[in-house]
Amino acid sequence: MDRKYLAGLIDQTLLKPEATRDDIMRLCEGALKYGFASVFTNSHFVPLVAKELDGSGVRVGTVAGFPLGATTTAIKSFEAFMGVMSGANEIDMVMNIGLLKEGEEAAVMADIVMVVETVRSAARVAERSDALVKVIIETCYLSDEEKVFAAKIVERAGADFVKTSTSFGPKGADSNDISLIRDAVGRGLKIKASGGIRSLSQVREMVAAGADRIGTSFGVSIMEEFDAEG
């Protein structure tokens, strides 16, 4: 894993409710310095982030139905639409966890499909052809069977990534979950590991298990750790 590859894995993230404009500016500065994959914030900050990252190649991300996934599909879709129209090209939505646990496959699928279609439509309107959708399944609340069930629904719904966690649950990313999901979906669906990832060793563990992206608020310190290795 070289430096550029490592930086390109990282979605530098700040979704805390107490985040300020200055916090977001520092987030962008770190992303620009290291060339992270993206910066993820709550939707209020998307126009600011889009302005700061314009032309840099660092992508802009925001969330929908966050952090519980229990809002209506219409609300998630509207959040996703406004996120794209405000400058985001990546949307991380939260699956309806309760419906998944009830086995309501069609309803879970419809929820995701609507957001995916909304993002694609908004991207066309905004003349942005590369908008991505990631679906957070919040693995800490699911059995192994439910994790596989959820990942396969995400794949069939046409999303680009399945994502492990919001970081608001009792447990975040787990390399065993990454391996489980990778075995279930093969290489047809990308995986974002997120939640509690603070060190370079954790990043390496997640990537070895099959992760394609890393969501973390510790991107800068992870890069500093990498550089310190020489």
152 is catalytic: no
Return the SS3 of 138: coil
Give Cα 21 to chain centroid, integer Å: 21
Q: Which of 92, 160, 174, 212 is catalytic?
A: 92
76 is annotated as an active-site residue: no
Check residue 95 and report its DSSP letter.
P
Question: Helix (H, G, I), strand (E, B), or coil: what is residue 58?
Answer: coil
Residue 130 is classified by DSSP as T
Q: Do residues 34 and 220 lie in contact, with contact meaning Cβ atoms separated by under 8 Å?
A: yes
Active site (annotated) includes residue 134: no
Annotated catalytic residue, options 76, 134, 190, 192: 192
List Cβ neighbours of 204 (8 Å cut-off, separation of 6 or more).
1
Q: Which of 147, 163, 174, 177 is catalytic?
A: 163
CA–CA gap between residue 69 and residue 4 (Å, rounded): 33
Q: How far apart are CA 28 and CA 14, in angstroms?
A: 10
Task: List active site positions.
Answer: 92, 163, 192
